[in-house]
Amino acid sequence: MELKIIVLTLFIIAANAEKVSYEGYSLYKVTPTRENHLILLKDVQKKGVGEFWEDPLYLNYEMRIMVAKENKVLFKSMLGKSGMVIEETIKDLQRAIDDQLKPAQRSAQDSHLFLSMNWNQYYSLEEINNWLDEVEKNYPTIVTSVTMGQSFENRQIKGIIINYRPGRNNLIGMLQGTLHAREWITTATITWIIKEFLTSTDREVRALAENFQWHLFPVVNPDGYVYTFTTNRMWRKNRSTQSFTSCLASGVSNDLSNGVDLNRNFDYAWMTLGTSDNPCTQVYAGPAAFSEPETRAISNYILGLNREGRFIYFIDFHSYTQLICISYSDVNGTDVLLAENYADMYEIAARGAAKIENSHATRYRVGVAADILYPMSGTSFDWAKYAARIPISYLIELRDLGQYGFLLPPEQIIPNSVEIMDALLVMDKTARYMGYYSGSQSIICSFSIILIGVLVALIN
């Protein structure tokens, strides 16, 4: 009996270790607009006809479905009668995956080599961590490397602190990437920001770099990130095996029951909206809030920083769909005012988005997730806003709008990063004018209300 279990376990490990090939797969875009569309999509998933980038939970939300060659006819016939428009966005998925690993061709003057990294390609976890060490070694008085904790598979969650004024700086900002493993562009964006903070001669970049103690974590889900390189490019969750189970009834591979969606595992409105208690889904919230070592590490780190100084900015980068999401993600309508500085956060984000659109013609939308994406609960940025009282907390969904989605070509790393840096500069300037550096934003807010009152009185 024991031998059988060992053989079965080895078989499962071997099956999981094999690299998933998407040869012959196409990627399709569909938008469910009626309840029966969602029922139909759930049926497609349950029968294993398509593999979903996200679970079919929301109406009017553009979804991506990967379909193997042998299932394409059945897929089209199942959805064909529903009236849903099916659009093939990537013809050869494996080729798009392979292409993403080929460095972009750029002229020498467009190259942005900084130590061992450039932004013409995506890097493995090992390469990123080595580069962080290199950065620390080259800027010993400004940069300190830091490990916020260990992952489920015991990898370090590594980042760096950039502090130009040690001992004097009490303004704190934190940026994190790849909470969702497959969203590679988020990691490249954070390493770009690190490079800019250390090397840019632009006056505004210098001010943003030097006014803050920055805590920058390119990969907060290291196990998932490694898994996207070694085994399954489309992996989203962490690699926890605690809830391993058969997914036969869900129509997905049993491997999907491994892992928790880390951006549903934080202790803010946990397990209420846009999430699932079924381990065989992409949005599995975990057996309990903070059940995962990665979310515990992030939250403990944030609480620790909060005791050290004035923690003003927290940004959790994701991809894709080009959005700046404002807390809180489980509300809309007038309930958005539950976030006491909602209007400020909206204004700051809107100015950032306007800058991106005016300077780079890339359109970002701004709002609460329930309005511009879908309602969510248990997210890191909502928890940071709610539990750690960080005044300005965003989730930013980077490029693109779905043409490549998670497979954003390396040619777009630099344009993406440049426009985000431009947005951050404008957002910071706006927050500074509003008084967030001095903690006097409430005074400014009250002053504005009095001023508006006086003007209304004068008009009347």
Determine if 182 is a binding residue for Zn ion (CB under 5 A): no
**Counting contacts by CB under 5 A, is residue 180 touching Zn ion?**
yes
Phi–psi pair at 421, nearest 5 degrees? -60, -45
Closer to Zn ion by Cβ: residue 135 or 395: 395
Three-state helix/strand/coil letters over 381-433: HHHHHHHCCCCEEEEEEECCCCCCHHHCCHHHHHHHHHHHHHHHHHHHHHHHH
> Shortest distance, CB of residue 337 to Zn ion, whole angstroms?
26
Residue 317 or 436 having the CB closest to Zn ion: 317
Q: Is 119 helix (H, G, I), strand (E, B) or coil?
A: coil
Q: Is 35 a catalytic residue?
A: no
Find the part of the chain contacting Zn ion (CB under 5 A) among 172-180, 197-205, 215-223, 354-362: 172-180
**Is 215 a binder of Zn ion (CB under 5 A)?**
no
Question: By rule CB under 5 A, what string of x and - marks binding of each residue 268-307 to Zn ion?
Answer: ----------------------------------------
Record the tokens describing residue 204, joined without a space. 């505004």
Helices (H), 332-398: 342-360, 369-372, 380-387
Shortest spacing between CB 318 and Zn ion, in angstroms: 3
With contact defined as beta carbons under 8 Å apart, do 322 and 365 qualify? yes
Nearer to Zn ion, 37 or 318 (CB): 318
**By CB under 5 A, residue 112 contacts Zn ion:** no
Catalytic annotation, pick one of 292, 294, 397, 419:
397
Quick check: 399 binds Zn ion (CB under 5 A)? Answer: no
Locate 3 and state its tokens. 């031998």
Kindly provide the residue ranges of all beta strands, DSSP E only, lying in 91-167, ordered along the sequence: 143-150, 156-163
Q: Which two three-digit tokens encode residue 189?
A: 């964006």
Cα-based torsion angle of the residue sequence 403, 408, 410, 416 in order, rounded to the nearest 10 degrees: 90
CA-to-CA distance for 42 and 278, rounded, in angstroms?
14
Residue 318 touches Zn ion, criterion: CB under 5 A: yes
Stretch that binds Zn ion, among 168-176, 203-211, 317-325, 381-389 (CB under 5 A): 317-325
Residue 64 touching Zn ion (CB under 5 A): no
When the beta carbons of 53 and 131 are compared against Zn ion, the nearer one is 53
Q: Which is nearer to Zn ion, 178 or 240 (CB)?
A: 178
Separation of alpha carbons 411 and 366, rounded Å:
25
* Piece in contact with Zn ion (CB under 5 A), picked from 10-18, 50-58, 289-297, 312-320: 312-320
Count the residues of the shown chain that bind Zn ion, applying the rule CB under 5 A: 2
- Site residues (vs Zn ion, CB under 5 A): 180, 318
- Active-site residues: which are they? 397
